[in-house]
């Protein structure tokens, strides 16, 4: 199974649901491209919600991740931090949780048991404006 990436918004927070395999090759390239696409919307999010981009990576349906896939998740965090965005992880599989623990990366990411818990960990706010997102 290859990678499938879905995006949705909950109260101004972008949920990126990753399913399948996050491995070296097209899968990690597609994942990096999706994160880049989400970050490119940051001006729209700031206008509408009044804050920088907030992302929750839902990894509950991630079947397998190799070192390149783990590197892509780290690169996503680096890209977010450099753009002033926040990123949190949710629904980690046991294998992903173990990989983060072994590599000590669990200390770098905010990790939550559910998407709901991750979303609720962000400060609450009302939309600044009613705008439509830019079309890609």
Q: Could you tell me if residue 76 is inside a domain? A: yes
CATH of the domain at 22: 3.30.750.24
Q: Could you tell me if residue 132 is inside a domain? A: no
Q: Could you tell me if residue 92 is inside a domain? A: yes
| Residue 121 · residue 91 · CB < 8 Å | no
Q: Could you tell me if residue 135 is inside a domain? A: no
Q: What domain count does the chain have?
A: 1
Across 20-44, b (16+ Cβ under 10 Å) vs e yields: bbbbeeebbebbbebbeebbebbee
Instruction: Choose among 110, 116, 60, 61: nearest CA to 87.
Output: 110
Quote the mean pLDDT of the chain: 90
Distance (Å, rounded) from C-alpha 2 to C-alpha 27? 7
Instruction: Summarize the confidence of residues 19-26 as an average pLDDT.
Output: 96
Domain that holds residue 75: 4-121
Q: Could you tell me if residue 131 is inside a domain? A: no
Instruction: Choose among 56, 67, 57, 61: nearest CA to 99.
Output: 67
Instruction: Pick the more confident residue, 134 or 8.
Output: 8
Distance (Å, rounded) from C-alpha 11 to C-alpha 74? 25
- Assign 52 a pLDDT band (cuts: 50, 70, 90): confident
Q: Could you tell me if residue 114 is inside a domain? A: yes
In degrees, rounded to 5, the angle at the alpha carbon of residue 121 between the alpha carbons of residues 114 and 73 is 60
Q: Could you tell me if residue 107 is inside a domain? A: yes
Q: What is the pLDDT of residues 88-135, one digit of tens each?
A: 999 999 989 999 999 999 999 999 999 999 999 998 765 655 555 656
Single pTM value for the model: 0.87
Q: Could you tell me if residue 126 is inside a domain? A: no
């Amino acid at each position: 199974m290859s990678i499938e990436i879905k995006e949705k918004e909950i109260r101004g927070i972008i949920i990126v649901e990753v399913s399948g395999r996050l491995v070296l090759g097209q899968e990690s390239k597609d994942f990096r491209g999706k994160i880049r696409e989400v970050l490119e919307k940051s001006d729209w999010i700031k206008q509408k919600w009044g804050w920088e981009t907030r992302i929750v990576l839902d990894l509950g349906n991630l079947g397998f991740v190799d070192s390149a896939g783990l590197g892509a998740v780290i690169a996503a965090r680096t890209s977010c931090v450099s753009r002033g965005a926040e990123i949190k992880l949710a629904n980690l599989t046991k294998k992903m949780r173990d990989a983060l623990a072994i590599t000590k990366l669990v200390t770098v990411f905010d990790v939550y048991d559910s998407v709901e818990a991750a979303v609720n960990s962000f400060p609450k706010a009302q939309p600044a404006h009613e705008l439509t997102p830019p079309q890609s």
